[in-house]
Amino acid sequence: MAEDSSLQEFESNPERFIHVVRDQQVILDYDLAWLYGVETKVFNQAVKRNIERFPDRFRFQLTAEEFDNLRSQIVTSSHGGRRYLPYAFTEQGVAMLSAVLRSEQAVKVSIGIMDAFVEMRRFIASNAALLDRMATIEYRQLEYQQSTNERFDKVFGYLDAHALPSQKIFFKGEMFDAFTLLVDLVKTAEKSLTVIDGYVDEKTLNILSKKNDGVECRLVTYPSAPLTSSDVAVFESQHGPLSICRTSDFHDRFLVVDDEAVYHIGASLKDAGKKTFAMTLIGDEELKSALLDKLDEASWTN
C-alpha cells in the first residue's frame, strides 16, 4: 500500500519530517496527510470536524515568518499552491489523530510517528549540551557554506564522536574527571535540576552553581545531611531559589535534568571520584516516570 511505502520513507529519514517550532517537535499537516494517504484538504477537514480534540498545544497554525524559516532550512515536501499557512501538529496532536482517522492503517501510521518522536526526544535530551556548544561554534558557518544534507551529515557525525556518555565508570582518584562530567550534565539543564543524594553539603551546591541562569534547583537529602541553612542562603543569594526535601525514603543517588534525563549515580556527589563508582543514564521510560511520580509526592521547603 502507498501508506506503507510512505511510512517506510518516514522511518528511514524522520528528521526530514519532524521540525522544531516554538521549542516543540512538530509535523506539518501536508506531511501528515501524505503519510496517512489522503489529500491535505481532506485531512484538515477531518481535524476540523473534531476540533475540540485539538487544543493549541496539540495543533497550531504557523506564522508566515515561521514557515519561511522552515523552508529556508529544509527541503519541504511538495504541497501545491495552498492559499493558507500550514498547521503544525505536536506529539500529542499526532496521538489524537488515530482517534479521528479511524482505520487500522491510521493507527499503524500514528504508532510509527510516535516512536520517531520518542527517539528524537531521547536523542536531543542526551546531547543537549553538545548541541548548544555547536550552535555557538559551528552552526552559522554550516548554515551558509553547505547544503542541507551536508549540514546534517556533519552535525550528526560530530555528535556520534563527541556526545556525553550515557554510562561511565570512574576509578578511585578520578575526582576531577567525575566533577567535570557532573558539571557538564548540570549545564545541559534548561528548566530544572533535581539532585537526590542523602549526604548533600556545600560541595554539592558548588556543582549546582554551574547551572544556567533561570534553571530551578531541588535537593532531596537525609534529615541528618550536613547541609546548613547558611549554605543554602549563600547559594540562593547568587543562584536563585533552592527547594529542599529532607527524607530518608531514597537510598541511591540520582540527577534529574529537566524532568527528562535521569542519571543514576553510584556515589554521593560530594565524594565522586574518591572511590570507584559508576554513572548511568536511565533509558527505561517506566522507571523514569515512577521516580518522577515519587518526587511529585515529596514535601518541599524553600
For 153-173, what is each residue's pLDDT tens digit?
554 443 344 456 777 888 888
Helix, strand, coil percentages (3-state) for the chain, rounded to 5, are 50, 15, 30
- In the chain, the N- to C-terminal Cα span, in Å, equals 58
**Whether pLDDT at 214 is above 90:** yes
**Which pLDDT does position 217 carry in this prediction?**
94
CB 288 within 8 A of CB 262: yes
**Whether pLDDT at 38 is above 90:** no
**Whether pLDDT at 128 is above 60:** no
* C-alpha–C-alpha distance, residues 26 and 97, integer Å: 13
Higher pLDDT, 189 or 155: 189
Domains along the chain with CATH numbers: 2-124 (no CATH), 127-163 (no CATH), 166-296 (3.30.870.10)
* C-alpha–C-alpha distance, residues 238 and 65, integer Å: 38
**Which pLDDT does position 76 carry in this prediction?**
47
Q: What is the mean pLDDT of the chain?
A: 80
CB 196 within 8 A of CB 254: yes
* C-alpha–C-alpha distance, residues 114 and 25, integer Å: 11
Instruction: Work out the average pLDDT over 261-269.
Output: 89
The Cβ of residue 92 has, within 10 Å, a number of other Cβ atoms equal to 15
C-alpha cell at 302: 524553600
DSSP string, 194-259: EEE-TT--HHHHHHHTTSPTT-EEEEEE-TT-S--HHHHHHHHHHH--EEEEE-SS--SEEEEETT
**Whether pLDDT at 32 is above 80:** yes
Instruction: Work out the average pLDDT over 252-274.
Output: 89
According to DSSP, the β-strands at 216-221 and 192-196 are parallel
| Length of the chain counted residue by residue | 302
* C-alpha–C-alpha distance, residues 272 and 13, integer Å: 40
pLDDT band (50, 70, 90) for residue 277:
confident
**Whether pLDDT at 147 is above 60:** no
* C-alpha–C-alpha distance, residues 61 and 93, integer Å: 13
Higher pLDDT, 291 or 5: 291
Least confident of 53-67, 141-155, 161-175: 141-155
Least confident of 14-18, 88-92, 126-130, 227-231: 126-130
**Which pLDDT does position 159 carry in this prediction?**
38
| pTM summary value | 0.46
3-state secondary structure of 83: coil
In the chain, where do the E strands start and end? 19-21, 24-28, 59-61, 87-89, 167-170, 192-196, 216-221, 242-246, 253-257, 261-265, 277-281
